[in-house]
Chains A and B, each alone.
Chain A
Amino acid sequence: MSTTYDVIIVGAGIVGCACAHQCSQAGLKVLILDQGPVGGQSTGAGMGHIVTMDDSPDQLALTHYARRLWLELAEDLPAHVEFQRCGTLWVAADAEELDAVKRKVSVYQSAGSKAQVLDARTLHEEEPHLNPAMLGGLLIPEDAVLYPPNAARYLVDRARSFGAELRTGVAVRQIGDKGSVTLGDGSSVEAGLILNAAGCGAPALTPHVPVRPRKGHLVVTHRYPGFVRHQMIELGYLKSAHSVSSDSVAFNVQPRATGQILIGSSRQYGDDSQTIHHGLLSRMMAQACHYMPEIGALSVTRTWVGFRPATPDKRPLIGPSLVSDKVWLATGHEGLGIATSLATGRLVADMIVGRTPEIPIAPYSPARVTQENVVHE
């Protein structure tokens, strides 16, 4: 078969869809494949938090750039994407976390992001249902939330309007080094470049991809409009989410456009089952009730699990893989795949067509992953 596509994207999660959008808009002929529906794996399981995070300068650069792209796109998003600029409110529970707020505010501001320190009084005015013992917070007002599967669908529809082709229900069995994919029925399709955007499924298709599934639980309540006004996260999250060795939970709640409340979060390695871990779920809900005691009286409609594609150094893998210059990666975004999808799409398209990226791309290059630091399970 002759090469008919410039790029074949494997995976129609939000990252693959964003890459399809940007590549097709840049004039490339794109085919996007997924074994399931659009946004059916990590994308559909996630919260949909457009958050800027400052764990590292590279992470801040990527999340800040991505949020700018989301804010630019916001006006075009249809109502069912449920984009709401509710802001992120990082909650300080003790003096140490309050000190961290004072350091972090200048980090955000120096990156060009609005950031505001809230004293205890302002915090409780903003979020009246928080535990009165909470000491203060850091408000990042331009952060947002959205409904991820519909956002992915919107991006892939935009890609199709630029000529991209979408095939769902099509499994990819193998990615060839010379620029081809073998499908479940044994047929193959060629392209100038294959982009592996298969999230947690990426390592099965490309060797030396240090991505491991990191399990999480989420709970969604009935509608309680106004109970939560911002996406709120405990500052202790910065400690718990960093722990790569043990299971952890953190207070993380999000107001949905419907008035429902999403409650997270948990992080767990080494459990790839789809089943709910009730011990961890209990810890997660106890943490939520510690920060917002009235949560215990709310009615829950559904609880589920999902998997974040995590890398050892907390940065995604964006660009040519180690195996071939015809096989590229866009995966490993862990819990920031929704947030940073638009930036990933833009950087991938920039690299392919030779435009100058707006932020340095080296920190996300798969080439940083040498044999020595590849995670072996």
Chain B
Amino acid sequence: MSKHLTLSVNGRSLTVPEGTVLAVALAEAGVTQFRRSVKGQARGPLCGMGICFECSVTIDGKLHQRSCQTLCQEGMEVTTDE
């Protein structure tokens, strides 16, 4: 049985199996607006392999982190739609 870990997404607690990719966890949690374009349009995962940067979110205060290239960690604080 896999271990689980808990992170915070926009202030809400989210528990996922260890090894979950953050972009997947966010999608599972119903997040559709990962970030905003320069003109304010909603953006979400496109390429899923770290090239397009459309899935960028803020992780532990660090802006523009690619959620598709990040594994969920215990206690991680994620903010989307920035």
Q: Tell me the A residues contacting B by CB distance below 8 Å.
A: 222-224, 258, 297, 299, 301
- Chain A residues with Cβ below 8 Å from B64 are 222-223, 299
B1 at the A interface (CB under 8 A): no
Chain B min CB distance to A301 (Å): 7
Assembly CA distance A297 to B56 (angstroms): 15
- Chain B residues with Cβ below 8 Å from A223 are 38, 63-64
**5 additional contacts (CB under 8 A) given A223-B63, A223-B64, A299-B63:** A222-B64, A223-B38, A258-B38, A297-B62, A301-B53
Q: How many residues of B contact A (CB 8 A)?
A: 7
- Chain B residues 35-67 with CB under 8 Å of chain A are 38, 53, 56, 62-65
Chain B min CB distance to A129 (Å): 14
- Chain B residues with Cβ below 8 Å from A258 are 38
Chain A min CB distance to B15 (Å): 28
Assembly CA distance A341 to B16 (angstroms): 58
How many A-B residue contacts, CB cutoff 8 Å? 15
Chain B min CB distance to A220 (Å): 12
- Chain A residues with Cβ below 8 Å from B53 are 222, 301
Chain A min CB distance to B70 (Å): 13
Which secondary structure dominates where chain A touches chain B? Answer: mixed
Which secondary structure dominates where chain B touches chain A? Answer: strand
Assess whether A222 is in contact with B38, with CB atoms less than 8 Å apart.
no
Assembly CA distance A224 to B38 (angstroms): 12
- Chain B residues with Cβ below 8 Å from A299 are 56, 63-65
Assembly CA distance A258 to B40 (angstroms): 11
- Chain A residues with Cβ below 8 Å from B56 are 222, 299
**A–B Cβ pairs within 8 angstroms, 15 of them:** A222-B53, A222-B56, A222-B63, A222-B64, A223-B38, A223-B63, A223-B64, A224-B63, A258-B38, A297-B62, A299-B56, A299-B63, A299-B64, A299-B65, A301-B53
Top 9 A-B residue pairs of the complex, sorted by shortest distance between their CB atoms: A222-B64, A299-B64, A258-B38, A224-B63, A222-B63, A301-B53, A223-B38, A297-B62, A299-B63
Chain B min CB distance to A279 (Å): 25
Assembly CA distance A224 to B53 (angstroms): 15
Assembly CA distance A258 to B53 (angstroms): 16
- Chain B residues with Cβ below 8 Å from A222 are 53, 56, 63-64
| Minimum CB distance partner of A224 in chain B | B63
Assembly CA distance A299 to B38 (angstroms): 16
Chain B min CB distance to A228 (Å): 14
Chain B min CB distance to A255 (Å): 14
Chain B min CB distance to A235 (Å): 30
Chain A min CB distance to B17 (Å): 28
Chain A min CB distance to B69 (Å): 12
Chain B min CB distance to A149 (Å): 16
- Chain B residues with Cβ below 8 Å from A224 are 63
